Structure 1
C-alpha cells in the first residue's frame, strides 16, 4: 500500500500513456470478402482523445485528481460512440466478413480503467 501512495501520480500518468499509445496502434481489423483492412484510432476520434488526454495529464500533474475523472469519462463517451458505430458496421456486413478489435482497443480500455481508478487510490499527504 505504501508503494501505491508513493507512486500515486505515476499510476495516473501511466494510464494516460496507454491511452496516447493506443491511438496510434491498430484499433480494429476488418475482413470483408477476403480483403483485410486495419484502422487505427488516430484517423477518427483519436485526435480528440489525444487532446482530452493532454488535459488529463495536466490535471494529474496539478493534483486535480477528481477533476481528471471528468476528462476520462469524456473519453469513455467517445469510445462508447465508436463501439456503437462499429456495431452498426457489424450488422451491415452480416455474413460477408468479420470485424475484430485489435491491440489499440485493448490498450485504450486498460488506460481508461487505470485513469478511472486513479483518483480513488490513496496518496501521500504532504506535510509542510
Structure 2
C-alpha cells in the first residue's frame, strides 16, 4: 500500500470534515431538543414534523396523504368525534365470497383480501 503526502493530506481532510459533520449533527440534535421543549413535545415529534415538511417540499402531496391516513386511523380506533365527515371516505370492499364471513368470524386469507380505500386511492 502506497501512502504519499497527497493521499495522507486527502485522508486528513476527510477526517476533519467528518469531525465537523459530527459536531453539526450534535448541534442540530440540541436545537431539536430546545424546539421540542418549547413546543411541549418530544424530540421525535419534532423530527417527524421536519421529515414531513422535507418530504412535502421535495415531492408534494405528502401532508394530504398523511392526513388521510390519520383520519382513517381515528375512525378505526373509534376516536373520531368530529361532527363533520373526515377529509376522505373510508370504504371497506369485500369479495363476494367474503360477505358471509362477517357474520361467522374470519376466514383464512380474509385480511389479505380486505381492501381499504381512501377516497379514490387504494392504500
TM-score (norm 2): 0.28
Which one has the largest radius of gyration?
2
Give the number of the structure with larger relative contact order, counting CA–CA contacts within 8 Å between residues 6 or more apart: 1
Structure with a larger share of its residues in strand: 1
